[in-house]
């Protein structure tokens, strides 16, 4: 990954003069975590890194922090994206929330990122991490000078195990060579399939026990690059009053259904929602199921082609069976 880090820094240095800010990653509060970086001074470029701990989807900052929607403002933004992140950028462009001309997209093919919670569970006492390398079925973590090997499916993030788009679908330049996807493009989402195999009662039981933990912190919503309503979200409004703040199971279901319905045909499965949930609810599964339905019905995937219209923003008079 050192090569990729250098390559990213070089790429940014080349174009930095024409940009107002570059979004990337840099080392975080400890060696096990990277953190988003907003590079505004050329001298800070050397802080930038890329490695399998760069979990954050930086496109989440485009609309809410940098207001990239207005093409007349001055900001020219550089942004580093993994495969999954790039789909969020495309989706934002599809919806007209981001002006393509203002972005300089540095695409980084990615073999997967590590879910640190999983790794820490598997390897208690993990302190310093010097290097992480992801291979097709192993993840090698160098800690205290020793490389330790772990099965990839035990430490990679949930989304990475189903990854079909490891290479950015949009970029101004690509760092390194494209990598092979872990899953076939047409593969149905595996955990969704497992759940669909359960009975109706079992599924109700699963979701009840999962969503019961929800504390309505809205971290999932705030981390989502496409949830641009933020504090106008109808899960919190008094007028219209869609959901009360009462801490009951119906309210929790309704909040997550609101997200599912509002992201239908839009979610690009970047997995941030699941990553940031403080109580570990696998919320991405809801979107995966809805995306699967959209794919079945309309042969459409969000965040792949910036020219395409969203399926629920349009109609086809001649479609049948519906």
Partner 1 sequence: MTGVIGHAHGPGTLKIEVYVMRIGVFVCKCGTNIAGTVDTAAVAKKARSFPDVAYATEYVYMCSEPGQQEIQEAIKTHNLQGVVVAACSPRMHEPTFRRAVEKAGLNRYMFEQANIREHCSWVSNDKAANTLKAMDTVRMSVEKLRFNEPLFSSQVPINKRVLIIGGGVAGIQAALDCADGGLDVVMVERESTIGGKMAKLDKTFPTIDCSSCILGPKMVDVAQNENITLHACSEIESVSGYVGNFSVQIRKKATYVDWDACTGCGVCTEKCPSKKAYDKFNEGLATTTAINIPFPQAIPKKAVIDPDYCLYLTKGKCRLCEKVCQVNAIRFDMEDEIITEEVGAIITATGYDLFDASVYGEYGGGRYPDVISAMQYERLLSAAGPTGGHVKRPSDGKEPRDIVFISCVGSRDPSVGRPYCSAVCCMYIAKQAIMTRDHLPDSNCYVSYMDIRSPGKNYDEFVRRAQEEYGVQYFRGRVGKIYPRGDKLIVQGADTLMGLQVEIEADLVVLATGIQAAAGAEDLAEKLRISYDQYGFYMESHPKLRPVETNTAGVFLAGVCQGPKDIPASVGQGSAAASKVQLLFARDTIETDPQVASVNDQVCVGCGKCIDVCPFGAIQWKTLRDGSRKAEVLETVCQGCGLCNATCPPKAIQLRHCKDDQILAAVNAVCA
Partner 2 sequence: MEDQQATTTQEQKIRIVGFLCNWCSYGGADTAGVCRFKQPTDVRIVRIPCTGRMDPMFVAKALINGADGVLVSGCHPNDCHYSVGNFYARRRMEAFKRFLPFIGIDTRRFRYTWVSASEGQVWQQVITEFTEEIHRLGPNPGLAGTAEAGRIPALAI
Which chain residues interact with partner 1 by CB under 8 A? 69-70, 95-97, 228-230, 232-234, 237, 239-242, 262, 312-313, 318
The encoded tokens of residue 277 equal 């949930």
Exactly one of 126, 140, 161, 219 binds partner 2 (CB under 8 A); which one? 161
Q: Locate tokens 């990598």: which residue?
A: 179
The 10 Å Cβ neighbour count of residue 306 is 16
Closest C-alpha among 163, 113, 158 to residue 139: 113
CB of 115 to partner 2, least distance (A): 8
d(CA 193, CA 266): 21
CB of 145 to partner 1, least distance (A): 50
Is 47 a binding residue for partner 2 by CB under 8 A? The answer is no
d(CA 160, CA 112): 5
Site for partner 2 in 209-268 (CB under 8 A): 209, 242, 244, 249-250, 253-254, 257-258, 260-261, 264-265
Q: What's the Cα-to-Cα distance from 40 to each of 49, 81, 105, rounded to whole Å? A: 15, 18, 16
Exactly one of 192, 214, 224, 226 binds partner 2 (CB under 8 A); which one? 192
Q: Locate tokens 């999932």: which residue?
A: 220
Find the part of the chain contacting partner 2 (CB under 8 A) among 25-33, 39-47, 52-60, 110-118.
Answer: 110-118
- How long is the chain? 322
CB of 85 to partner 2, least distance (A): 23
Is 151 a binding residue for partner 2 by CB under 8 A? The answer is no
d(CA 317, CA 221): 34
Is 121 a binding residue for partner 2 by CB under 8 A? The answer is yes
Could you tell me how far CA 63 lies from the centroid of its own chain? 15
Helix (H, G, I), strand (E, B) or coil at 25: strand
194 CB-contact burial (10 Å; exposed 0-12 / middle 13-18 / buried 19+) = exposed
CB of 92 to partner 1, least distance (A): 11
CB of 66 to partner 2, least distance (A): 30
Exactly one of 16, 165, 207, 218 binds partner 2 (CB under 8 A); which one? 207
Is 191 a binding residue for partner 2 by CB under 8 A? The answer is yes
CB of 95 to partner 1, least distance (A): 7
Q: What is the DSSP letter of 47?
A: G
Binds 117: which of partner 2, partner 1, none (CB < 5-8 Å by kind): partner 2
Binds 228: which of partner 2, partner 1, none (CB < 5-8 Å by kind): partner 1
Residues 6 or more apart in contact with residue 54 via CB below 8 angstroms: 25, 34, 82, 113
CB of 26 to partner 2, least distance (A): 26
Cβ contact 269:292 at 8 Å:
no
Cβ contact 82:96 at 8 Å:
no
Q: Please say which residue, 42 or 204, places its beta carbon nearer to partner 2.
A: 204
Could you tell me how far CA 133 lies from the centroid of its own chain? 20
Q: Please say which residue, 146 or 318, places its beta carbon nearer to partner 1.
A: 318
Is 141 a binding residue for partner 2 by CB under 8 A? The answer is no
The encoded tokens of residue 14 equal 């080349």
Site residues (CB under 8 A) for partner 2?
115, 117-118, 121, 158, 161, 190-192, 194-196, 198-209, 242, 244, 249-250, 253-254, 257-258, 260-261, 264-265, 280, 282, 286, 289-290, 293-294, 296-298, 311-312, 315-317, 322
């Amino acid at each position: 990954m050192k090569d990729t880090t250098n390559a990213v820094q070089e790429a940014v240095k080349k174009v930095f003069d024409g940009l107002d800010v570059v979004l990337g990653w840099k080392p975080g509060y400890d060696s096990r975590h990277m953190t988003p970086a907003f590079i505004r001074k050329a001298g800070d470029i050397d802080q930038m890194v890329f490695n399998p701990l760069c979990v954050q989807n930086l496109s989440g900052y485009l609309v809410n922090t940098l207001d990239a929607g207005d093409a007349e403002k001055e900001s020219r933004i550089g942004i580093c994206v993994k495969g999954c992140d790039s789909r969020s950028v495309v989706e934002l462009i599809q919806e007209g929330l981001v002006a393509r001309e203002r972005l300089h997209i540095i695409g980084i093919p990615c073999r997967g990122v590590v879910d640190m919670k999983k790794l820490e569970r598997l390897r208690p006492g993990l302190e310093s991490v010097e290097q992480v390398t992801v291979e097709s079925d192993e993840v090698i973590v160098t800690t205290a000078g020793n490389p330790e090997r772990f099965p990839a499916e035990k430490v990679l993030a949930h989304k990475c195990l189903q990854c079909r788009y490891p290479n950015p679908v949009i970029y101004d330049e690509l760092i390194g060579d494209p990598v092979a996807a872990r899953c076939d493009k047409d593969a149905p989402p595996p955990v969704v399939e497992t759940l669909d195999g359960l009975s109706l009662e079992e599924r109700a039981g699963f979701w009840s026990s999962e969503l019961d933990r929800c504390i309505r912190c809205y971290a999932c919503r705030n981390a989502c690059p496409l949830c641009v309503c933020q504090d106008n979200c109808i899960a919190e409004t008094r007028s219209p009053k869609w959901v009360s703040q009462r801490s009951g199971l119906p309210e929790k279901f309704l909040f997550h259904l609101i997200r599912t319905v509002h992201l239908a045909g839009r979610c690009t499965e970047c997995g941030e929602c699941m990553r940031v949930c403080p109580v570990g609810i696998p919320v991405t599964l809801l979107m995966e199921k809805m995306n699967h339905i959209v794919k079945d019905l309309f042969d459409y995937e969000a965040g792949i082609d910036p020219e395409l219209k969203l399926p629920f923003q349009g109609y086809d008079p001649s479609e049948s069976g519906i």
